[in-house]
Structure 1
Amino acid sequence: MGDIQKSNRSIFDLDLLRALVTVADCGSFTAAATRLHSTQSTISQKVRRLEELAGQRLLDRGVRDARPTDIGETVLGYARRMLALNEELAAALSGEGAGTTIRIGVPEDFAAGRTTRLLADFSRDHPRVKLEVSSGLSRGLAESYDRGELDLVLVKQRRGSREGLACWPEPMCWIDAAAAPTFAQDPVPLVAFPPRGLYREDMIDAVEALGRRWRISFTSSSLGGIQAAVADGLGISLLPARAVTAAHVVLGPASGLPVVDSIERVLLQRPSAEPEVKTLAAMLVRMLGEEPA
Structure 2
Amino acid sequence: MALTTSTPIPTSLPLLDTDVLRTFVAIAEHGSFTRAAEQVYRTPAALSMQIKRLEETLGQSLFVRETRKVRLTPEGEVLLSFGRRLLKLNEEAVAQFLTPPVEGTVRFGMPDDIGTRILPGILAQFARTHPAVQVDVVVGRSVEMQARIDRDELDLVLVSEGSDGLEPGRGDLVHSEPLVWAGREGGIAVQRSPLPVALASHGCAWRAMALTALDRANIPYRIAYTSENCTGQEAAMIADLAIAPFPLSLIRPPLRRLDQTTDLPPLGHSRIALIRREGAGPASEALAGYVVDAFRRD
Q: TM-score range by the shorter chain?
A: 0.5 to 0.7
1:166 deviation in Å?
A: 4.1
* CA deviation vs aligned residue, 1:190-225 (integer Å, no higher than 9, x gap): 101111122112222222223222111111112111
1:105, 1:153 within 8 Å by CA — same for their partners in 2? yes
Match of 2:105 among 83, 97, 101: 101
Tell me, yes or no, if structure 1 residue 260 matches structure 2 residue 267. Answer: yes
Q: 2:212 is matched with which residue?
A: 205
With normalisation by structure 2, the TM-score equals 0.59
Match of 1:270 in 2: 277
Runs of 4 or more, structure 1, over 3 Å off, are: none
Equivalent of 1:218 in 216, 219, 225? 225
In the superposition, relative to structure 1, how do residues 253 and 111 fare at CA in structure 2: closer, same or farther (>3 Å)?
closer
- Give 1:167's match in structure 2, choosing from 151, 170, 174: 174
Using a 3 Å threshold, how does the CA distance of structure 1 residues 175 and 134 change in structure 2: closer, same or farther? Answer: same
Among candidates 243, 246, 258, match of residue 253 of structure 2: 246
Please provide the CA RMSD for this pair: 2.3
1:244 deviates by 1.0
Residues 186, 161 of structure 1: alpha-carbon distance in 2 compared, 3 angstrom cutoff = same
- Letter of the 1:252 partner, please give it: D
The residue aligned with 2:201 is 194
Does residue 121 of the first structure (1) align with residue 125 of the second (2)? yes
Structure 1 pair 123/249, CA: closer, same or farther in 2 (3 Å)?
closer
Percent sequence identity is 27
Q: Deviations over 1:39-73 (max 9, x none)?
A: xxxxxxxxxxxxxxxxxxxxxxxxxxxxxxxxxxx
CA contact (8 A) 1:227 1:243 kept: no
How many residue pairs match? The answer is 194
Q: Which TM-score applies when normalising by structure 1?
A: 0.60
Give the direction of change, closer, same or farther, for the CA distance of 1:116–1:147 in structure 2 (3 Å limit).
Answer: same
User: What amino acid maps onto 2:127 in structure 1?
Assistant: S
Q: CA deviation at 1:114?
A: 4.2
Give the deviation of 1:132 after TM superposition: 0.5
- Call closer, same or farther: CA 1:288–1:203 in 2, change over 3 Å: same
Q: State how far apart, in whole Å, the 1-side matches of 2:273 and 2:117 are.
A: 19
Give the drift of 1:158: 2.8
Counterparts in 2 of 1:64-79, with a 5 A limit?
none
Q: Which runs of 5+ in 2 are unaligned?
A: 1-101
Asked whether the equivalents of residues 199 and 227 of structure 2 are also in contact (C-alpha less than 8 Å), the reply is: yes
Which stretches in structure 1 are left out of the alignment for 5+ residues? 1-97
Contact 2:113/2:229, CA 8 A, preserved across alignment: no
Offset from partner CA, 1:133-187 (integer Å, 9 cap, x none): 1123222222222222211011111399223244321321101221322122111
Matched, 1:144 2:144: no
Q: 1:170 to 1:113 in 2, by over 3 A?
A: closer
